[in-house]
Amino acid sequence: MPTFKRFEDMHVWQSARELVKLIYSATNLPDFKRDFGLRDQIRRAAVSVMSNIAEGFGAGSDAELIRFLSFSWRSISEVQSQLYAALDQSYISGDEFQKIYSAANEIERQVNTL
Protein backbone atom coordinates (compact mmCIF):
# COMPACT_ATOMS: atom_id res chain seq x y z
CA MET A 1 0.00 0.00 0.00
CA PRO A 2 1.40 3.47 -0.82
CA THR A 3 2.74 5.55 2.04
CA PHE A 4 1.20 8.94 2.67
CA LYS A 5 2.05 11.43 5.39
CA ARG A 6 -1.39 13.07 5.39
CA PHE A 7 -4.75 12.01 4.07
CA GLU A 8 -4.80 15.21 2.03
CA ASP A 9 -1.92 13.77 -0.01
CA MET A 10 -4.05 10.87 -1.20
CA HIS A 11 -5.27 11.39 -4.75
CA VAL A 12 -8.47 9.50 -3.95
CA TRP A 13 -9.26 11.92 -1.10
CA GLN A 14 -8.60 14.88 -3.41
CA SER A 15 -10.98 13.38 -5.98
CA ALA A 16 -13.60 12.80 -3.28
CA ARG A 17 -13.27 16.45 -2.27
CA GLU A 18 -13.97 17.45 -5.88
CA LEU A 19 -17.03 15.19 -5.87
CA VAL A 20 -18.33 17.02 -2.79
CA LYS A 21 -17.89 20.32 -4.61
CA LEU A 22 -19.82 19.00 -7.62
CA ILE A 23 -22.63 17.69 -5.42
CA TYR A 24 -22.96 20.93 -3.46
CA SER A 25 -23.01 22.92 -6.68
CA ALA A 26 -25.73 20.71 -8.19
CA THR A 27 -27.81 20.71 -5.02
CA ASN A 28 -27.79 24.49 -4.94
CA LEU A 29 -29.83 24.60 -8.15
CA PRO A 30 -33.30 26.01 -7.39
CA ASP A 31 -35.44 22.86 -7.79
CA PHE A 32 -32.90 20.55 -6.18
CA LYS A 33 -32.39 22.97 -3.32
CA ARG A 34 -36.07 22.70 -2.35
CA ASP A 35 -36.02 18.89 -2.12
CA PHE A 36 -34.57 18.88 1.38
CA GLY A 37 -34.57 15.11 1.79
CA LEU A 38 -32.73 14.21 -1.41
CA ARG A 39 -30.49 17.27 -1.22
CA ASP A 40 -29.35 16.49 2.31
CA GLN A 41 -28.98 12.75 1.69
CA ILE A 42 -26.80 13.07 -1.40
CA ARG A 43 -24.69 15.70 0.33
CA ARG A 44 -24.19 13.42 3.34
CA ALA A 45 -23.29 10.48 1.10
CA ALA A 46 -20.73 12.56 -0.83
CA VAL A 47 -19.16 13.90 2.35
CA SER A 48 -19.09 10.35 3.69
CA VAL A 49 -16.92 9.27 0.75
CA MET A 50 -14.33 11.89 1.63
CA SER A 51 -14.63 11.41 5.39
CA ASN A 52 -14.24 7.64 5.34
CA ILE A 53 -11.05 7.94 3.32
CA ALA A 54 -9.65 10.36 5.91
CA GLU A 55 -10.88 8.25 8.82
CA GLY A 56 -9.36 5.10 7.37
CA PHE A 57 -6.07 6.87 6.90
CA GLY A 58 -6.16 8.08 10.49
CA ALA A 59 -6.84 4.58 11.82
CA GLY A 60 -3.16 3.80 11.36
CA SER A 61 -3.27 0.34 9.82
CA ASP A 62 -3.70 -1.03 6.33
CA ALA A 63 -6.55 -3.26 7.50
CA GLU A 64 -8.48 -0.31 8.90
CA LEU A 65 -7.78 1.78 5.81
CA ILE A 66 -9.17 -1.01 3.65
CA ARG A 67 -12.24 -1.30 5.88
CA PHE A 68 -12.97 2.42 5.66
CA LEU A 69 -12.30 2.45 1.92
CA SER A 70 -15.06 -0.14 1.61
CA PHE A 71 -17.39 2.20 3.50
CA SER A 72 -16.37 4.95 1.11
CA TRP A 73 -17.07 2.70 -1.87
CA ARG A 74 -20.58 2.05 -0.54
CA SER A 75 -21.20 5.78 -0.22
CA ILE A 76 -20.11 6.25 -3.83
CA SER A 77 -22.83 3.79 -4.87
CA GLU A 78 -25.32 5.73 -2.76
CA VAL A 79 -24.37 8.98 -4.51
CA GLN A 80 -24.71 7.34 -7.90
CA SER A 81 -28.16 5.98 -7.05
CA GLN A 82 -29.32 9.35 -5.76
CA LEU A 83 -28.06 11.00 -8.94
CA TYR A 84 -30.63 8.93 -10.83
CA ALA A 85 -33.36 10.27 -8.54
CA ALA A 86 -32.16 13.81 -9.19
CA LEU A 87 -32.09 13.20 -12.94
CA ASP A 88 -35.56 11.60 -12.91
CA GLN A 89 -36.95 14.64 -11.10
CA SER A 90 -35.21 16.96 -13.60
CA TYR A 91 -33.19 18.55 -10.81
CA ILE A 92 -30.05 18.09 -12.90
CA SER A 93 -29.47 17.84 -16.63
CA GLY A 94 -28.21 14.76 -18.40
CA ASP A 95 -24.85 16.46 -18.86
CA GLU A 96 -24.62 17.33 -15.16
CA PHE A 97 -25.57 13.75 -14.29
CA GLN A 98 -22.81 12.37 -16.54
CA LYS A 99 -20.23 14.77 -15.15
CA ILE A 100 -20.93 13.86 -11.52
CA TYR A 101 -21.48 10.15 -12.19
CA SER A 102 -18.15 9.98 -14.04
CA ALA A 103 -16.40 11.70 -11.13
CA ALA A 104 -17.90 9.11 -8.77
CA ASN A 105 -16.78 6.29 -11.10
CA GLU A 106 -13.24 7.65 -11.05
CA ILE A 107 -13.21 7.61 -7.25
CA GLU A 108 -14.56 4.07 -7.29
CA ARG A 109 -11.67 3.09 -9.59
CA GLN A 110 -9.16 4.79 -7.31
CA VAL A 111 -10.57 3.06 -4.23
CA ASN A 112 -10.37 -0.30 -5.97
CA THR A 113 -6.75 0.42 -6.93
CA LEU A 114 -5.80 1.05 -3.31
Q: Report domain extents, the chain.
A: 10-113
Distance between CA atoms of 62 and 34, rounded to whole angstroms? 41
Taking the whole predicted model, whether its pTM rises above 0.95 is answered as: no
pLDDT tops 80 at residue 4: no
CATH code for the domain defined by 10-113: 1.20.1440.60
Give the integer Cα–Cα distance in Å for 45 and 88. Answer: 19
CA 54 to each of CA 35, 57, 61, 86, 88: distance values in angstroms, whole numbers, following the listed order: 29, 5, 13, 27, 32
pLDDT at 22: 98
- What is the pLDDT at residue 2? 57
Q: Given this model, what pLDDT does residue 3 score?
A: 73
The pLDDT score that the predictor gives to residue 35 is: 98
- At residue 44, does pLDDT exceed 90? yes
